[in-house]
Structure 1
Amino acid sequence: MAGFLGPRAIFWAFIVLTTAVIYKTYIHNFIFLTLGIGREIQPIEDFQWTCERVRHSLLEGCEDLWLDEQNRKLYAACNSLESRKGWSPGGNNYNISARSRTDHIAVMDVDQPGSDGLYGLRQLKISGYQDDLDLHGFDVRRIKGRLRFWLINHRPPVDHATGEFLDALVVGANSTVEIFDLDETLDTLEHVNTVASEAIVTPNGVAVEEDGLGFVITNDHNTKTGTFRNLEMLSGGGSLAYCRSNTGKCHIAADRGFSMANGIAHDKNGYYYVANSASGLITVHKLVNNELIQVESINTGYPMDNLWLDVDGNLIAAAFPDLIGLVRSSIDPYNSVAPATVLMINDIAKQLKTYGRNVKLSKLVEDRDAKSLPSSTVAVHDAKGHKLFLAGMFSPFITICEQRP
């Protein structure tokens, strides 16, 4: 009878549909996004930048950067590579004994290279905080004339009754957000407050509102540990937590539609931009009634890490054109550097209003042969100084680029 599907035909139609969904959702992303099959990676000579690598023990393992445009200083959250390889909860590394306990914020004067080419490199001192710092992402705001830092701190878990470390492989890190004020005359961070909450699950990036009260962190996984945690690279996962600096209270403000929520940036229009590492999407969110509602999604076609919003409103993303190369670099960072890509969306707020998700995306720079750029997890664009600063969580150096006329 015409139009009638028998059980056998229905079965095969179901198989075809299921296969198509699995391919589109998992296999397609793995082949073209994760493996980068068919992706064109350009040599750095194609771009108008002159780049130099800056090496120093204080500039190893710098996962995140922040640029003070006003005072022309670059701040970096860094640690030794051996420590990163052993204790890095975001990367499923839970060896507490491998921690070097040397995490620090490095600072450089970006317009004064000096005779040694180290830009006045020094380490900020810490005051009023007795524990160790295990740094990841961070953000900074100028509040009443002083710089205030919000630092993600992956503290190891401790049994408060005995003071002994717990098994981090079982319970995960005891992550917090530490707030410090900077005394710039003494290069000293003075502790203000610790924000601890069950909503701070697996924090990766942090973005602070203009008034310095509200801030959002990205949780890059759904759970601190677990058998299926690694599968989130395929299935997706993560959430956004909204916190208040003055009360220390946090709550999960969004927990759907993420694929390893990673870097985050916030603009003056109230939009939050979130890099989803596993899907190559930048999701755009707005705070409504204490919930972070997704209002748009931009497909970049690249796995990504940290985001940076420059003073001209351009969104910058540190992207991974060769994820397998990045894994090799994380295993042997002194001898292997991964190709790197920096993506840019010009005046993203204006483009979103005009074009929606069809914004124009461009490559700011790319280094196919890993000649100059690090295995980058962060890229900061200095729109005024026409410079670019790049660093990597598993890189033994940072790179400073100047734009050629």
Structure 2
Amino acid sequence: MAGILGPRAIFWAFLVLATGVIYNTYIHNFIFITVGIGREIQPIEDFPWTCTRVRHPLLEGCEDLWLDDQDRKLYAACNSLESRKGWSPGGNLYNISTRSRTDHIAVIDVDQPGSDGLYGLRQLKIGGYQDDLDLHGFDVRKIEGRLRFWLINHRPPVDHVTGEFLDALVVGANSTVEIFDLDETSDTLEHVKTVASEAIFTPNGVAVEEDGLGFVITNDHNTKTGTMRVLEMLSGGGSLAYCRSDTGKCHIAADKGFSMPNGIAHDKNGYYYVANSASGLITVHKLVNNKLIHVESINTGYPMDNLWLDADGNLIAAAFPDSIAFVKSIMDPYNVVPPATVLMFNDIAKQLKTYGKNVKVSKLVEDRDAKSLPSSTVAVHDVKGHKLFLAGRTLTPLGCDRCKGHGHSLSVSTGLGDS
């Protein structure tokens, strides 16, 4: 063949082949998934929702949500906008001096709006923990009549000899998982344990098993800082760490085939669903012999953040239809509100067994013109109350009443979050 085509023809054939591989492997996803060139974004008028605003400082900077659908309370991990604009290791922001040191868990009573429309909004106290919290994703389980919280904490790096801060731009955050208990009659989170491990290096999301012992962390990058971390938007990267709450031990359980793994959810069938922000894939995994085995990949066509499994087994994903506008909102959250999308996978476990990777996805709501919704980092569906709660990168929360199908329902968005 070489004699027939000649060296120059072989060179050009190889160049064309290599270009095709690079495009299909790296460039295509970045253009059409991450950036969203050519994506059709629908106006909110196409969906049966109307919206009202709820304003309060406790609902700023909320990255993640968790709904107690039995006791009818919604918990949110929040901070100030100014703090997240500077100190947000998940978003490559390492300015320690901007930390407000006001991270907190906010609570609302989802069925009791009250005369002020704030749903009994309050902040939980912190007991038995001496350091500041720098919150990201979290998960909760009911354990022996208490709520147990697993909170990702992006602490700044400290020299253990001098007590001085290290250069976070060089060494990254000193991230841990902090475990707290909340008694049903108390408003104070009591510290139980700190889980620190080399396997928890760029944590983003956490999903806890039903017994509250095992949990999985998504590491959204391969490195804490540096040029290669930025390039992972194209090349892919990230891993899953499996940890035990009882022993505090963790290990990397999967590290292949990820593209910035972000939100994660766990169901009673033993499936772990992982949102890959850069590729638009939801990868599905099962724990086998302490390894998280890849089961399937579901293509959504959207970059995504956090995932939520509702009481009916529907998987809810907060997605970014316009990533360029989303990045602008990170830099200027007070003035820029990008479009938002919430995706829904009906009875995801059943669909997965029936259709495999051809699971059907629908838009629960979308807001092309950013009239009513924030760019949501998390969306939580309340089946019992027919409500939808959203948290995203805007200054003020929003409420949405669903006008068709299920009577009235409420959506609350809660401020700025990390991607």
- Shift of the alpha carbon at 1:99? 0.2
Contact (CA 8 Å) 1:53, 1:373: kept in 2 or not?
A: no
Letter in 1 for 2:53: R
Corresponding position: 1:146 with 2:164: no
The alignment-based identity, stated in percent, is: 87
Residue 72 of structure 2 is aligned to residue 56 of structure 1: no
- Would you say the 8 A contact 1:387–1:400 is kept in 2? no
Q: Structure 1 residues 159, 354: closer, same or farther in 2, change over 3 A? A: same
- Distance in 1 of aligned mates of 2:69 and 2:41: 31
- Using the TM superposition, give the Cα deviation of residue 4 of structure 1 relative to its aligned residue in structure 2, in angstroms: 4.1
Question: 8 Å contact 1:302–1:321 — kept in the other structure?
Answer: yes
> Which residue number in structure 2 is paired with residue 131 of structure 1?
131
Offset of residue 179 of structure 1? 0.3
Measured in 2, the distance between the counterparts of 1:133 and 1:319 equals 26
Q: Contact 1:391 / 1:397 at 8 angstroms: preserved in 2?
A: no
Give the CA deviation at 1:29.
1.4
- How far 1:27 sits from its partner (Å)? 1.8
Distance of 2:50 and 2:213 partners within structure 1: 39
Deviations 1:163-192 (A, max 9, x none): 111111111000000000012322110100
Counterpart of 1:398? Answer: 397
Contact 1:148-1:182 within 8 A present in 2 as well? yes
User: SS of the residue aligned with 1:360?
Assistant: coil
RMSD: 1.2
CA distance in 2, matches of 1:400, 1:249: 41
Assess if the C-alpha contact under 8 Å between 1:389 and 1:398 holds in 2: no
Deviations 1:199-230 (A, max 9, x none): 00100000000000000000000011122110
Q: Distance in 2 between matches of 1:397 and 1:354?
A: 41
User: Structure 1, unaligned stretches of length 5 or more?
Assistant: none
Partner residue in 2 for 1:331: 331
**Pairing 1:174-253 to 2, within 5 Å after superposition:** 174-253=174-253
Distance 2:251 2:76 in 1: 28
Alignment check: 8 A CA contact 2:145 2:183 kept: no
Alignment of 1:73-152 (within 5 A): 73-152=73-152
Q: Which amino acid aligns with 1:401?
A: C
Residue ranges of structure 2 left out of the alignment (5+ in a row): 405-419
**Counterpart for residue 386 of structure 1:** 386
What is the match of residue 157 of structure 1? 157
Match of 1:318 in 2: 318
Deviation at 1:383, TM superposition (A): 1.3
Please state whether the residue corresponding to 2:18 is helix, strand or coil. helix
Distance, in Å, in 1 between the alignment partners of 2:78 and 2:22 is 39
Q: After the TM superposition, which parts of structure 1 deviate over 6 Å for at least 4 consecutive aligned residues?
A: none
18-27 vs 360-369, greater mean Cα deviation: 18-27
Give a deviation string over 1:13-35, Cα, whole Å, max 9, x none.
21111111111122211221122
The answer on whether the counterparts of 1:386 and 1:402 sit within 8 Å (CA) in structure 2 is: no
Partner of 2:283: 283
What is the CA-CA distance between 1:46 and the residue it aligns to?
A: 0.6
Residues of 2 paired with 1:344 and 1:11: CA distance? 47
State the one-letter code of the partner of 1:355.
Answer: Y
| 8 Å Cα contact 1:312/1:347 also seen in 2 | yes
Q: Matches of 2:193 and 2:322 in 1, distance apart?
A: 39
- How many angstroms does 1:5 deviate by? 3.7
Residue in structure 2 matched with residue 36 of structure 1 by the alignment: 36
Question: Is residue 2:102 matched to residue 1:70?
Answer: no
Query: In the TM superposition, what whole-angstrom CA distance separates every residue of 1:306-359 from its partner, at most 9, and x where no partner exists?
Result: 000001000000000000111111111111111000001100000010000001
Query: How far off is 1:3 after superposition?
Result: 9.6
**Counterpart for residue 305 of structure 2:** 305
- Give the Cα separation in 2 of the matches to 1:234 and 1:161: 39
SS in structure 1 of the partner of residue 215 of structure 2:
strand
Distance 2:338 2:201 in 1: 29
CA–CA distance in 1 between the matches of 2:363 and 2:67? 21
CA deviations 1:136-178 (Å, max 9, x no partner) are: 0000001111110000000000111111111111110000000
8 Å Cα contact 2:145-2:184 kept in structure 1 = no
Could you tell me how far apart the structure 2 residues matched to 1:399 and 1:151 are?
25
Check conservation: 1:171, 1:225, Cα contact below 8 A. Answer: yes
In structure 2, what is the Cα distance between the partners aligned to 1:205 and 1:53? 28
